[in-house]
Amino acid sequence: MDGLPPSNQATHFWGNTMEIHRVSAYHDVEHALRITDLKQSLYDEGKILMDKVLVTLHGDEHRQRRSIESQLFRKNFFRVYENEVFPGLLSETLDQFLTESSLDLKELGYRIMVHLSLSFAGIDRIDGTVEEADAQHRLLIQLGQAATIGQFKGDREPIFQEIREAIDEFRERFFLPSRARRLALLEQYRAGTLNEEELPRDILTILLMHDAELSMPNELMVREVAFFYLAASHTSVHTLVHATNELFNWCERQGQTPAEVVADAHQLQRFVLESMRLHPSSPEAWRRAEAEITLADGRVVPQGDKVVVDLQTANRDTSVFGEDAAEFNPLRSVQGRISPAGMSFGGGMHVCLGMNLVAGTVLRDGEFPKPDNHQVGTITLIIKELIERGMRPNPNQAPQKIEASERDVWAIYPVLF
């Protein structure tokens, strides 16, 4: 380690010394995420599900799939989504699961996000029962292990087996019927008996519409849809609970009520973005150098080395967010073209595809919402609805974080309605 900057670590990789280079200053993180010779490496060990799904693709293959999937957001997608699709999905879930006055917000958050994320991915409910929702939630947890298995130290085989079985169950029980329904609708659309606006607005429909260009094997299409389900769910629940907690704490400190804050959805959106900055649901992005590259601070990274892009530390960079960068302050103003959510949605080629869906229209300093074309994002809409339905902290049961985890993750968040 002698002679290395403190942020570099050396590990042995097949007998060679492979270094890990950490990047954590805000502008250096932005720069690193734009280096095209840095390739995604966070999911290298989760290939069982993640192989060749969007977030692990690189170069032309990535560009082509991303540009097709982005077509989902064509023609007023967000306006239709926030005004027509989302309210129905949310009230369905709340009617089914908001049945007691004392609840864990994290659990309720999963109920909501399972429903929203499946709808976005293109997976239909079949009978809409609690048993079905339980199975979908269980599959989310089982499939999600593929994204984190790289960090798991024990015997991986039983986990791989569980993921294999979960992919099979997801395909048979949910994917195949959803695909059959969409293929029938696409046939009507191609025959001219159905308008494009009447097609479901989801990833599976887009993939099926562009089948010929994409030529995706069936098993890859199953995993791509499952990946969208994962990408949209855990991240949003994490954000929902943190943002609610920050809102409650802020109100207590400032002598305001949550109802006053949520009455103005734009104001609440600022709270959510500020919470996203402090508590990014993916604290790090990992990359591998495909060729020798130079980082913004001049460090040279040889081919094959790993680069850890530390989004969480970058988001608390005092040179960008001010001396109080580590504090929650939704009134903060940040100079320049800096997102109020910091780097929480990544940057460069893999920048989060769902960002505007969850975070809404993200304004920079000096920009103002356009009254007829501004979305506030699903997290803001969910918190607004829950507060309007009377959600408040449970004074008899304190929230708890996951202790064993170095990460900033809630275990339970008891609330009352």
User: Of the candidates 109, 330, 342, 346, which one interacts with ligand HEM according to CB under 6 A?
Assistant: 346
Are the beta carbons of 73 and 188 closer than 8 angstroms? no
**Using rule CB under 6 A, residue 244 touches ligand HEM:** no
List the structure tokens of 158: 């039983």
Which residue lies nearer to ligand HEM by CB, 268 or 358?
358
Q: Whole-angstrom Cα distance, residue 347 to residue 338? A: 12
Site residues for ligand HEM, 302-331, by CB under 6 A, read: none
Interface of this chain with ligand HEM, residues 169 to 228, rule: CB under 6 A: 228
Asked if residue 231 binds ligand HEM (CB under 6 A), the reply is yes
Residue 89, CB half-sphere, CA atoms under 13 Å: how many? 22
Q: Taking CB under 6 A as the rule, does residue 239 contact ligand HEM?
A: yes
Q: Which of residues 350-379 bind ligand HEM (CB under 6 A)?
A: 350, 352-354, 357-358
- CB nearer ligand HEM, residue 35 or residue 415: 35
In sequence order, the 6+-apart residues with CB closer than 8 A to the CB of 309 are: 23, 29, 32, 33, 284, 285, 286, 287
CA distance 241 to 183: 37
Q: Does 120 bind ligand HEM (CB under 6 A)?
A: yes
- DSSP annotation string for 308-352: EEEHHHHTT-HHHH-TTTTS--TT----SS--TTTTTT--GGG--
CB of 395 to ligand HEM, least distance (A): 28
Is 119 a residue that touches ligand HEM (CB under 6 A)? no
Q: Find the residue with minimal CB distance to ligand HEM.
A: 354
Of residues 86 and 120, the one with the C-beta less far from ligand HEM: 120
The position carrying tokens 């974080």 is 401
In this complex, which beta carbon is closest to ligand HEM, that of residue 145 or of residue 239?
A: 239
Residue 404: is it exposed, middle or buried by C-beta count within 10 angstroms (0-12/13-18/19+)? exposed
18, 39, 174, 266, 346 from 24: Cα distances, Å: 20, 18, 41, 30, 13
Q: According to the binding rule CB under 6 A, does residue 295 interact with ligand HEM?
A: no
The yes or no reply on residue 109 touching ligand HEM (CB under 6 A) is no
DSSP 239: H
Q: Does 236 bind ligand HEM (CB under 6 A)?
A: yes
Told to check if 26 binds ligand HEM by CB under 6 A, we report: no
Query: Using the rule CB under 6 A, is 66 a contact of ligand HEM?
Result: yes
**Under rule CB under 6 A, residue 272 binds ligand HEM:** no
Residue 73's φ and ψ, nearest 5 degrees, are: -85, 25
350 vs 394, which CB is nearer to ligand HEM? 350
The answer to whether 275 contacts ligand HEM (rule: CB under 6 A) is no
Torsion of CA 256, 259, 264, 265, to 10 degrees: 120
Q: How many residues bind ligand HEM (CB under 6 A)?
A: 26
- C-beta closer to ligand HEM: residue 73 or 417: 73
Select the residue interacting with ligand HEM from 136, 312, 339, 344 (CB under 6 A).
344
Angle between helix axes 130-148 and 218-254 (nearest 10 degrees) is: 100
**Binding residue for ligand HEM, selected from 178, 245, 281, 339, defined by CB under 6 A:** 281
Residues binding ligand HEM (CB under 6 A): 40, 42, 54-55, 66, 120, 228, 231-232, 235-236, 239, 276, 280-282, 285, 344-346, 350, 352-354, 357-358
